[in-house]
A and B are shown apart, each in its own frame.
Chain A
Amino acid sequence: AQSVTQPDIHITVSEGASLELRCNYSYGATPYLFWYVQSPGQGLQLLLKYFSGDTLVQGIKGFEAEFKRSQSSFNLRKPSVHWSDAAEYFCAVEPGSARQLTFGSGTQLTVLP
């Protein structure tokens, strides 16, 4: 069965600093990969997705992620964090046509002024 690991439970960065959130997955083939964001009391919003092709994908709100097959990783990055980025971030995988997402445990992002 597939699994997703987000090793950082909580990350704190200063506004304007760069950000990288880590995600590693375990699956026999290349799954579909996603990053979602959840603000307090809200549902999840899709930031970006990787299905195939270019390993660097661009998403909304200035986020990007890079798929590295050799490391089974799909890390999320942002060059300059804004206070409004404070939220919980979830990495997720879908193994092809399984039509269900397996989520990581999430990384809580705090942004300092």
Chain B
Amino acid sequence: KAGVTQTPRYLIKTRGQQVTLSCSPISGHRSVSWYQQTPGQGLQFLFEYFSETQRNKGNFPGRFSGRQFSNSRSEMNVSTLELGDSALYLCASSLGTGPNTGELFFGEGSRLTVL
């Protein structure tokens, strides 16, 4: 069974630009969550999508947005990039229902550098 796939793995942008990151979950998983990992703030929850609906959202500004498609693939977008957005962005998938909602399967992440 293929794991969670994130693209691109690495990217460099400049301040003010926008970026779109993609995540393909494990087959059969309907929930996709996004986390930001930085040395200073650690791992922080961005949002979670289930069946194309945002079900939960963390404490991030509106520049951070996401969506989920009918095949459960998800994208996140960051507009008007700031230096502080440099981070590893991790996508995680899960079944999304039942008792094991916290059992997340993570991708290897997309490392974003903002210059």
A binding-site residues for B, Cβ under 8 Å: 32, 34, 36, 41-46, 49, 51, 90, 92, 94, 97-106
**Which residues of chain B come closer than 8 Å to A98, judged between CB atoms?**
56
User: Contacts A43-B90, A43-B109, A45-B106; is A99 near B42 (CB within 8 Å)?
Assistant: no
Closest 10 A-B residue pairs measured CB to CB? A43-B106, A94-B102, A103-B43, A44-B106, A100-B45, A43-B108, A32-B102, A105-B42, A99-B56, A43-B107
B binding-site residues for A, Cβ under 8 Å: 4, 31, 33, 35, 42-45, 48, 50, 55-56, 58, 90, 92, 96, 99-109
- Across the two chains, which residue of chain B brings its CB closest to A98? B56
> Is the CB–CB distance between A100 and B58 below 8 Å?
yes
Among A36, A42, A46, A100, point to the contact of B56 (Cβ < 8 A): A100
